[in-house]
């Protein structure tokens, strides 16, 4: 029983010492995403009640190839699976146009 308590204590101590690293890692990921998005022009738009999904198109394709190979009394089964998914959405966000920027 003492061994389990020691192992659990070591795991907890390791997690506590790793908290700053995990915190930096999550903050750096947030910064990368924010840098990719960039500054948003007219980011504070007003939205009306007319926002809706106008059109959505989803496609999923699945392809499976099965191969049977014989080499030196060894039979090998090989499977190659390919799955591709495409999605297209057209939305009316219901934004209310404001005055043009000058």
pLDDT at 29: 86
CA distances from 3 to 6, 11, 13 (A): 5, 12, 15
Span 5-21, pLDDT tens digits: 999 999 999 989 999 88
Output the pTM of the full model: 0.32
Radius of gyration of the chain (CA): 27
Span 42-73, pLDDT tens digits: 555 566 666 777 788 889 899 988 988 888 88
Q: What is the mean pLDDT of residues 67-92?
A: 87
Domain segments of the chain as ranges: 2-34+52-92
């Amino acid at each position: 029983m003492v061994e389990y308590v020691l192992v659990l204590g070591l795991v907890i101590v390791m997690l506590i010492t790793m908290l700053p690293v995990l915190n930096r890692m999550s903050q750096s990921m947030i910064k990368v995403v924010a840098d990719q998005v960039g500054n948003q022009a007219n980011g504070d738009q007003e939205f009306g009640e007319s926002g809706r999904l106008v059109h959505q198109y989803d496609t999923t394709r699945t392809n499976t190839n099965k191969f049977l190979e014989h080499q030196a009394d060894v039979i090998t089964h090989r499977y190659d699976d390919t799955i591709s998914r495409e999605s297209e959405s057209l939305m009316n966000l219901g934004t209310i146009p404001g005055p043009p920027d000058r």
